[in-house]
Amino acid sequence: MLHFQISPSSGVPVYRQVMDQVRYYVAGGQLKAGDRLPSIREMAGALHINPTTIVKAYNELQHGGDIEMKHGKGAFITEASEPRSRAEVETEFRRLCAALAASALQMGLGAERAAGILAEEIGRLGVGGKQ
Q: Residue 64 sits in a domain of what CATH number? A: 1.10.10.10
* Count of structural domains, the chain: 2
- Sorting pLDDT into bands at 50, 70 and 90, what band is 121? confident
Domain span holding position 109? 86-124
Phi, psi angle pair for 76, to nearest 5°? -130, 145
- Sorting pLDDT into bands at 50, 70 and 90, what band is 131? very low
**Closest Cα to residue 4, out of 33, 44, 36?**
44
- Sorting pLDDT into bands at 50, 70 and 90, what band is 66? very high
125 or 18: which carries more pLDDT confidence? 18
What pLDDT sits at residue 84? 67
3-state secondary structure of 21: helix
Quick one: 27 and 45 in the same domain?
A: yes
